[in-house]
Amino acid sequence: MCVFGPVDEQISGEWGLLNPEIYPLVSNSGGRLMPVHCSETVEMNSEYAVYVVNYSIRHISHYMCKKSSCRCADGDRATKGDPVLHLNMDVVLDAVRRMSESKETESLKGYRADFVLARK
């Protein structure tokens, strides 16, 4: 289910994730009335953090790996013979390229981009 509407109290309360007193960007974007867009829930398989400096990938970290369900080479499923799933580097490189060409990110020197392998 996707919810569109004002920021929910659970995430915008005194210590909430979108508290405008803590995160000025939220205040500049409409504060507690800022619309929140949520995607549907997906079954994540493997998670990766891609660290980029000056539009160059410096490191890729596989994290939040639950050995019993992760489809990485170290996961239990691979040990049982299931195919190993790998991060699609074409997708990652395309995302980094798009970030480097974007007007909105021209002053960005470094960032971390998260990628997830998820069941369709």
Residuewise pLDDT in 10s, the chain (120 residues) = 444 455 555 455 555 555 556 556 555 666 556 666 666 777 777 889 999 999 899 999 988 777 887 888 888 888 888 888 889 999 999 999 999 998 888 888 899 999 988 776
103 and 55 together in one domain: yes
112 Cβ neighbours under 8 A, 6+ residues apart:
49, 50, 51, 52
Residue 69 and residue 85 in contact, taking contact as beta carbons nearer than 8 Å: no
Domain assignment of residue 11, given as a range:
4-37
Position 18 scores a pLDDT of: 57
At residue 19, the pLDDT reads: 59
Closest among 75, 83, 84, 86 to 115, alpha carbons compared: 86
Same-domain status, 78 and 104 = yes
Same structural domain, 33 and 49: no
104 and 66 in a common domain: yes
Provide the β-strand partners of residue 64.
none
Let me know whether 20 and 75 are in one domain: no
What element of type H or E holds 93?
helix 89-101
One domain for residues 56 and 31: no
Query: Rounded to whole angstroms, how far apart are CA atoms 102 and 120?
Result: 28
- The answer to whether residues 51 and 29 belong to one domain is no
Residues 31 and 51 placed together within one structural domain of the fold = no
Model pLDDT, residue 12: 53
Q: What is the pLDDT of residue 7?
A: 52
Locus of tokens 């020197």: 109
Is 28 in the same domain as 48?
Answer: no
